[in-house]
Amino acid sequence: MAQKKVLVSDKLADAGLEVLRKKGFEVDMKLDLTPEELIAVIPEYDALIVRSGTQVTREVIEAGKNLKIIGRAGVGVDNVDVAAATDHGIVVCNAPTSNIVSAAEQTMCLMLAAARRTAEANASMHDHKWERGKFMGVELFEKTLAIFGLGRIGGLVAERARAFGMNLVGYDPYCSPERAEQLGVTLYDDLDDILPIADFITVHLPKTKETIGMFGPEQYARMKDGVILVNVARGGIYNIDSLADFVAAGKIFSCGIDVWEDEPCTDSPLHEFPNALITPHLGASTKEAQLRAGVQTAEFVAAGLEGSIVPTAINMTPVPPEVMSAVGPYVPACQLMGSVLAQIDREVPCNLKVELQGGLISSDPSILVAGTLKGLLTYHTTNTVTPVNATAIAKRHGIKVETAGEREAGGYSSAVRVVADGAEIACTMVDAAEKPRLISLFGYKMDIAPGTRSLIFEYVDAPGRVGVIGTILGEAGINITTMQIGTKPEEQCALVYMNVEGEVTDEVIEKLREALPDLKNLWSVSL
């Protein structure tokens, strides 16, 4: 199997690159590619890792014929055409927790610096002046902080602001009352009700049609005199032109702006005001955040290339940590089972049942269904099948999918059983580090870890059959590495699952068919 290739088009922490290389991937770092250069090289890569500098357009995605996953080493995916990636079955993932502490700390930094006019005082001192009386500031203590957006970063800001003795109010249509209570935030349903009572305002919102220009002249006019505004989220949430007008008028005491609608930004209406604290998008610019972003993204991309769960995938149902720990190890097992069934029965099944057994009975089956479909449909479609598009492709093929649970797992703590038009297969995992073990096939009980190449025989059981198989394979230079025999005494049948090394030609298959009387089935399977 050819070595999978990863293109890194923006600077990534060395530790992240090492994660990929240790897993056996070929990694190329090519920085400062033009759009045309990126389109030219992307066809040879299985994965792409970017930061904010690379624009992953639909044209890039359509050129990436082998692309399976795009990793954004950071939180926002504004520079990736997620819809185009989804259309082509490409997973898009990010590192949403990599910089949240850094962003929260930058928020507090700007809030404090704006309140105490630190930058102005610093500039004055560097100009060899002593203007102590000029830089009167305000305290955070007992002031009201309005937090717009109470997600991961907004929540961390709330925790830190409470330590300063601030009163917290918030606006977030998606935040539950229980979550707000936990953070010590009083929720408001209407933005206009918050504006007149806030001494400080910080925004932690995504860039959407609704949030761009969310704060303009009308909103600034409703704010308390002397309010301080901070933005470490996305540029454009505050209308900068009108913000500058209100800073000039003294309505807004100060502001701390780290993000800009168009970056890099070297000139704006705020540049002329010394009480406008402006920084060049430093929210994630810490050594710790850069390291986490690189390592986390590399781990998620590696998981995607290995066919495992990508917990931060943007364009598929998110996988909570508790679900991932329970069912994650079974995703490769489900892909394996789907692949075996696809090679045994070349027809696309009409009905597919995925049954979670034992300890998995209460788990969400959706990612295991996707894994099974991926393995099954890879042999029936020219499209790249990923968990992103597997369900849609199944519908196009007319496959009816059913899920079920069973408390018993055939003597194992947990297992997954798949039935496709009556053809049954089941797998378990001894532990997360081991390969999936096949424990049932067509009702024959066994316990074997399938290899990359296998032969499966079903015949009427009789002495000497395995010896005949071994002789023919030996003469062809094919080595048997492991083997399991399952029986059905009531039917006097046996099923032999044999992992082999060497090329199994059509000629060898024909010799085996001729040499085995009462041979019911013979399949050659590659995984």
Q: Mean pLDDT in runs of 10 for the chain (527 residues)?
A: 89 95 96 96 97 94 95 89 89 92 97 97 96 95 97 95 98 92 96 96 92 96 98 96 97 98 94 97 93 95 84 76 74 91 88 94 85 83 66 82 90 93 92 79 93 94 90 94 86 91 93 91 92
Count: domains in the chain = 4
**What CATH number is associated with residue 470?**
3.30.70.260
Which one of 116, 160, 162, 281 is the catalytic residue?
Answer: 281
Strands (DSSP E) found in 391-518: 400-406, 414-420, 423-428, 437-441, 444-448, 453-460, 479-488, 493-501
Q: d(Cα 16, Cα 18) in Å, to the nearest integer?
A: 5
User: Within this chain, do residues 455 and 512 fall inside the same structural domain, yes or no?
Assistant: yes
Q: Is residue 524 part of a domain?
A: yes
204 noted as active-site residue:
no
- The tally of CA atoms less than 13 A away on the side-chain side of residue 341 is 34
Catalytic entry in 88, 117, 234, 437? 234
Is residue 112 located within the same domain as residue 257?
yes
Q: How much is the pTM?
A: 0.65
* DSSP H or E run through 108: helix 100-116
Amino acid 321: pLDDT? 65
The verdict on residue 446 lying in a domain is no
pLDDT for the residue numbered 74: 87
Taking the CA atoms of 232, 236, 237 and 239 in sequence, report the sign of the dihedral they define.
positive
Contact 482, 451 (CB under 8 A): yes
Are 180 and 228 within one domain? Answer: yes
Query: What's the pLDDT at 433?
Result: 57
**How many Cβ atoms from other residues are within 10 Å of residue 504's Cβ?**
19
Report residue 323 as tokens: 């679900």
CATH number for the domain that contains residue 125: 3.40.50.720
Instruction: Choose among 263, 293, 232, 283: nearest CA to 93.
Output: 293
Q: Distances from the Cα of 17 to the Cαs of 215, 285, 289, in angstroms? A: 40, 19, 15
One-letter amino acid at 226 equals G
State the catalytic residue, choosing from 263, 272, 288, 510.
Answer: 263
Shared domain for 191 and 156, answered yes or no, is yes
Range of the structural domain that residue 210 is part of: 100-278
Residue-wise pLDDT for 470-490, tens only, equals 999 999 999 999 999 988 767
Answer yes or no: 234 catalytic: yes
CB distance 113 to 119 below 8 Å: yes
Question: Is 160 designated active site?
Answer: no
For residue 227, the model assigns a pLDDT of: 98
Question: Are 399 and 352 spatial neighbours (Cβ–Cβ below 8 Å)?
Answer: yes
Measured in Å, how far apart are the chain's first and last C-alpha atoms?
A: 10
Question: Do both 393 and 476 map to the same domain?
Answer: no
Q: What is the pLDDT of residue 318?
A: 63
Q: Are residues 393 and 434 in the same domain?
A: yes
Contact 142, 165 (CB under 8 A): yes
Of 478, 458, 473, 477, nearest in space to 520 by CA: 458
